[in-house]
A = this chain, B = another copy of it.
């Protein structure tokens, strides 16, 4: 866990004239210690255990806030609902997603990123961010398949 994630949130809130609350801190704590690619519901369930009085809406609201504050990335895969992942400032990555078991594997590839910039340049396009997802079967599911 990044040393100052809570501080980073506080700073963002202060800068926006928003308030720090125990709920926001609690949700952030659980979010950071939980696995990656959480949906709002998954996070809600995890937060619910230690803090049973936190509401569904607050989890949704806080997740959007974390995305705005730069602490989380918001992603929509093909399964219909939005997932969030804790964002370390320097780590960009893409995903391999198993269509059978739902496993999500992360990867980085600088050469692909460079080629993306080429494509953008040729189209007079300025890339703000991108999304690369490879859907298919993971190693385990390929074995089980036979």
Contacts and interface: CB of A to CB of B under 8 A. Distances in A.
Interface of A: 76, 78, 96, 98-99, 105, 107, 109, 111-112, 115-116, 118-120, 123-139, 142
Contacts of A136: 120, 125-129
Given A109-B118, A127-B135, 20 more contacts: A76-B78, A96-B119, A96-B120, A96-B125, A105-B123, A109-B115, A112-B112, A112-B115, A115-B115, A119-B134, A123-B138, A125-B136, A126-B137, A126-B142, A128-B136, A129-B136, A131-B131, A131-B132, A131-B135, A132-B133
Given A115-B109, A120-B96, A130 B134 contact: yes
Copies of this chain, count: 2
A96 B120 CA distance: 8
Contacts of A139: 123-125
Given A115-B115, A120-B96, A130 B128 contact: no
A98 B125 CA distance: 8
